[in-house]
Amino acid sequence: MARAADSEWMSTACNLCYANCGIQVQVGGEGNRHITRVKGDKNHPASRGYTCNKALQIDYYVNGKDRLTAPLRRREDGTFEEIDWDTAISEVASKMAAIRDEHGGDKIFRYGGGGQGNHLGGAYFSSVRSALGMKYHTNALAQEKTGMAWIMGRMYGANVHGEVHDAQAVMIIGKNPWQSNGYQRARVMIRQIAKDENRSLIVIDPRRSETAEFADYHLAVKPGRNAWCLSAMVAHVVQQDLIPHE
């Protein structure tokens, strides 16, 4: 985190989704460890001063009352005791190595390492997997990321982000960017599309969300009918020969 030279504001980035919007913060409170004020960083090349409800409440995530600040080890009576990091790391490493030596590393299954914008755990765990000979792993994002791997990996060969902000027609399925964001400057984007007569916003969602309120077309498809709706669209394109053959 870089401190601004001429003020109390410090430039950093929000880590609560992939967009990683630039923000400026002021710190204070007990131990000078609380983020007391947040605003969008107008000099950030992507977010350009935009921020959402998540970034504005980022101190809640940094200093949540239930956040652990040290490793805990279970006692025999079921309660936990606080221990130092060196002890925790050495004890866990020795027990994991013992499982590997007796049963094989492929018997150790890893679950975890997700959270948009928080990928360090997943990146650094590759060395742990290698050292222990682990084979299998998954995380809470498996459903989403598996679909992305099949679609983007097979179609484009790599993970890509759509040019949503410049698209002539944007179709959103089961998502409410007005609240969840997930795109750079999401609310600005939604307003711009809604005001532009040459652009269309299509929302497929059984609920009339805040994003659907701005839509040119809101298809309130019943839950479970999403695949049928999309298949019908593909069929119409094929049957009416709307394919760009050239």
- Range 37-54 average pLDDT: 92
Q: Is the pLDDT of residue 118 over 60?
A: no
* Domain ranges for the chain: 2-62, 83-160, 164-239
2-62 CATH, one of 2.60.40.10, 1.10.150.650, 3.20.20.120, 3.30.200.210: 3.30.200.210
Helix (H, G, I), strand (E, B) or coil at 96: helix
- Enter the pTM of the model: 0.64
| Helix (H) and strand (E) counts in the chain | 9, 11
Q: What is the CATH number of domain 164-239?
A: 3.40.228.10
DSSP single-letter state for residue 18: T
Q: Rounded CA gap, 220 and 238, in Å?
A: 24
Higher-confidence residue of 153 and 140: namely 153
DSSP single-letter state for residue 70: S
Tokens 């119409």: give the residue: 236
199 near 224, Cβ under 8 Å?
Answer: no
Q: Rounded CA gap, 182 and 18, in Å?
A: 7
pLDDT confidence band for 113 (50 / 70 / 90): low
Q: Give the closest residue to 148 by CA, choosing from 162, 136, 137.
A: 162
Torsion from C-alpha of 19, 24, 27, 33, nearest 10 degrees: 20
State pLDDT tens for residues 188-206. 999 999 999 999 999 999 9
Higher-confidence residue of 221 and 182: namely 221
